[in-house]
Structure 1
Amino acid sequence: MKQGIIAIAFLLLGACDALPRDPANTSDRIARSHSFTVALTDSSVRAAPEVDRLIREIERRTKARAQWRIGSGELVLQQLDDGTLDLAIGRFTAESPWATDVAFAPALSTTGSKDSPIELKAAMRNGENRWIMTVERASRAITQEAREQ
């Protein structure tokens, strides 16, 4: 009986490595190809130093290189939703119509008024939870680093 419980515990422990999951295998694909695709919703975002820091941190964590794509606005977010793009970075309001279609990482910076803030942040395809967690952790790490400086 005791050996059976130990065997089940090891099986369950081994299964934990697969969580969180990416139904479309984004993280596995990035690990195999050593690259991920990224685009900006607005080209002016490229000047924000947080963008470079975020990309470098994701590259470090994934051991993959960012492959930049050209695009803007709705097209970029549609590509993200379709799964043909891994990461979109832009400035978004709380009322963004994409808030239910994509997963947003924590804000890298905030501008605008207190009543209507505009947040610079990354967006990922909904449901790709392992990839989302990677980007969220990278976002938090660089914002924490900025606060400590």
Structure 2
Amino acid sequence: MRGVIVLAMLLLAACDMLPRDPAGTSNRIAHKRTFTVALADPAIDAAPEVQRLVHEIERRTGAKAHWRSGAGEGLFQQLDDGTLDLVIGRFLAESPWAMDVAFGPPLSKTGTKAAPLELKAAMRNGENRWIMTVERASRAISQEAREE
């Protein structure tokens, strides 16, 4: 019986460490109090959902967004190497990048039924704690938009 209690306590203690960020994204953001963001399409800068998402992530993390410029595939390479934390853009619902990055839930949808575009955030694959933070912020923004 004592062994079961000890095992249960160890398992509970380990739960606090999940989800994990193998590359330490969330810890770095908490320590430096900043995260890096780029827009895949500069035209979406005016989209209110983009600004609300970034502000919601700032609120949830206590960190400030540091904006970077860039374009196209180079942004995804920067996500992969950890020099960018977030890329926001309009992506095909069935994006070819889905295997290389983690996409958050869509903030809004445009385009045609045959080729829908989703405004959403992309994050570095595997950084699960950071991904969860962005996903929760995205869902909160999406919910606000539906209620308006």
User: How big is each residue's C-alpha offset from its partner over 1:13-54, in whole Å with a ceiling of 9 and x where there is no partner?
Assistant: 010010011110101111111110000111101111000000
Corresponding residue number in structure 1 for 2:119 = 120
Could you say what secondary structure the match of 1:137 adopts? Answer: helix
Could you say what secondary structure the match of 1:114 adopts? Answer: coil
Corresponding residue number in structure 1 for 2:21 = 22
After TM superposition, the score normalised by the length of structure 2 is 0.96
Alignment map for 1:97-112 (pairs within 5 Å): 97-112=96-111
67-76 or 116-125: which moved more? 67-76
Which letter maps to 1:116?
A: A
Give the paired residue count.
148
Could you tell me which runs of 5 or more consecutive residues in structure 2 were left unpaired when the two chains were aligned.
none
Contact persistence 1:107–1:139 (CA under 8 A):
yes
CA distance in 2, matches of 1:40, 1:108: 14
Alignment map for 1:1-149 (pairs within 5 Å): 2-149=1-148
Could you say what secondary structure the match of 2:95 adopts? Answer: coil
Deviation (angstroms), 1:4 = 2.8
In the TM superposition, structure 1's runs of 4+ consecutive aligned residues that sit over 6 Å from their partners are none
Could you say what secondary structure the match of 2:126 adopts? Answer: coil
Identity %: 72
Deviation (angstroms), 1:130 = 0.6
Could you tell me which runs of 5 or more consecutive residues in structure 1 were left unpaired when the two chains were aligned.
none
Could you say what secondary structure the match of 2:97 adopts? Answer: coil
CA distance in 2, matches of 1:148, 1:97: 31
* C-alpha RMSD of the superposition: 1.0
CA distance in 1, matches of 2:119, 2:136: 16
15-24 or 95-104: which moved more? 95-104
User: How big is each residue's C-alpha offset from its partner over 1:40-82, in whole Å with a ceiling of 9 and x where there is no partner?
Assistant: 1111011110000000110111111101111111111111122
Contact persistence 1:42–1:90 (CA under 8 A):
yes
CA distance in 1, matches of 2:107, 2:92: 13
CA distance in 2, matches of 1:148, 1:90: 23
